[in-house]
């Protein structure tokens, strides 16, 4: 038995023994996706955890994702196998700067992407995902909105909003921001019949030449529904693993080498260690968790409306 097979066997046995479910983000490596019970986008996985009758959840994703799962599931132990697997974009929100902004602009709605840390969510009025961001911004009563932290997603939102002033924080996802229009055009020259689908965290000029801008869940759905044979995908390259696994009748190409190194800090060995120890558990102060829960619940309630 190979080392990988041995680890998988041990993980499978420990999951059953310790009442654990493993969830994995679309940007995790194929090895991690394969040992996950559920694979998906960050907030979708956090909501999935809420539906589970289980005591312990190992969340394979970056820090804010595990935090969201813990906020929405205070009755479960949410375990993050590698605390150093952090989102640089989420860390681009300076708390003192945000506090100062709120004091100077009390009538501005703070809309935060779910790709933010718990402290940011706790200072926000409502959260959004990449797929419902436009709907969320339209829903607020205030005439002025501060969207944070992703400037590219914020600029994408502004394309569809003409009745509000939308101010954008200057954060960005390095993985998506590194995808260039030249990279996409180069692939399009090689595959002229390919459909181009990119994440709205990409630069505006990349979105301009795409056929669709979609969340990771939207990218997967588009791949399943489209009648083309080839697709150019503008997001983290591990999304290709899931696409090729679930949509076998298409070819997928990724411009450049879009890699989130922080996602790759979670390994099967670290997942096994977390199953053995049921640590490290994501711990959030009750008061902060309660404040962060409110903007998440507002977003969820909006979806039900």
Query: Domain residue spans in the chain?
Result: 3-86+263-277, 101-172, 179-253
**Residue 71 pLDDT exceeds 80:** yes
Closest CA to 174 of 91, 233, 254, 253: 91
The CATH number of 101-172 is 3.40.50.10800
Give yes or no on whether 101-172 and 179-253 have one common fold: yes
The token duo for 146 is 């501060």
Q: What is the band of 3 on the pLDDT scale with cuts at 50, 70, 90? A: low
47-51, 190-194, 240-244: the lowest-pLDDT one: 47-51
Instruction: Collect all residues with Cβ–Cβ distance below 8 Å to 39 and sequence separation of at least 6.
Output: 23, 24, 25, 26, 28, 33, 242
Kindly report the CATH class assigned to 179-253.
Answer: alpha beta
Q: What percent of the chain has pLDDT over 90?
A: 91
Determine which helix (DSSP H) or strand (DSSP E) holds 64, and give its type and residue range.
helix 63-72
CATH number for the domain formed by residue range(s) 3-86+263-277: 3.40.50.10800
Residue 14 and residue 7 in contact, taking contact as beta carbons nearer than 8 Å = no
Q: Give all strands (DSSP E) within 80-164, no chain letters.
A: 108-113, 126-128, 144-148
Task: Give the mean model confidence (pLDDT) for residues 47-60.
Answer: 91
Tokens of 100: 């100062």
Global pTM reads 0.94
């Amino acid at each position: 038995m190979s080392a990988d097979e041995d680890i998988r066997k041990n993980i499978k046995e420990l999951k059953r023994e310790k009442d654990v479910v493993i969830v994995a983000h679309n940007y995790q490596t194929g090895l991690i996706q394969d040992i996950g019970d559920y694979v998906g986008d960050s907030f979708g996985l956090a909501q999935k955890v809420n539906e589970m009758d289980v005591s312990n959840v190992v969340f394979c994703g970056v820090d804010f994702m595990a935090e969201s799962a813990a906020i929405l599931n205070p009755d479960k132990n949410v375990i993050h196998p590698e605390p150093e697997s952090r989102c640089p974009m989420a860390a681009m929100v300076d708390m003192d700067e945000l506090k100062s902004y709120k004091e100077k602009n009390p009538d501005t709605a703070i809309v935060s992407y779910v790709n933010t840390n718990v402290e940011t969510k706790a200072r926000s009025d409502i959260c959004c995902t990449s797929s419902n961001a436009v709907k969320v911004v339209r829903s607020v009563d205030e005439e002025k909105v501060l969207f944070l932290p992703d400037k590219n997603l914020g600029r994408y939102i502004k394309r569809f909003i003409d009745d509000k002033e939308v101010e954008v924080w200057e954060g960005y996802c390095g993985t998506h921001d590194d995808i260039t229009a030249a990279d996409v055009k180069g692939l399009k020259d090689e595959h002229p019949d390919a459909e181009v689908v990119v994440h709205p965290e990409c630069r505006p000029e990349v979105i301009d030449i795409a056929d669709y801008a979609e969340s990771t869940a939207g990218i997967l759905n588009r791949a399943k529904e489209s009648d083309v044979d080839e697709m150019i995908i503008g997001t983290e390259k591990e999304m290709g693993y899931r696409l090729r696994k679930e949509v076998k009748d298409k070819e997928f190409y990724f411009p450049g080498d879009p890699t989130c190194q922080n996602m790759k800090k979670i390994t099967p060995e670290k997942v096994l260690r977390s199953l053995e120890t049921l640590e490290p558990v994501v711990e959030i102060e009750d008061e902060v968790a309660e404040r962060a829960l409110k903007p998440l619940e507002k977003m969820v309630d909006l979806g039900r409306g």
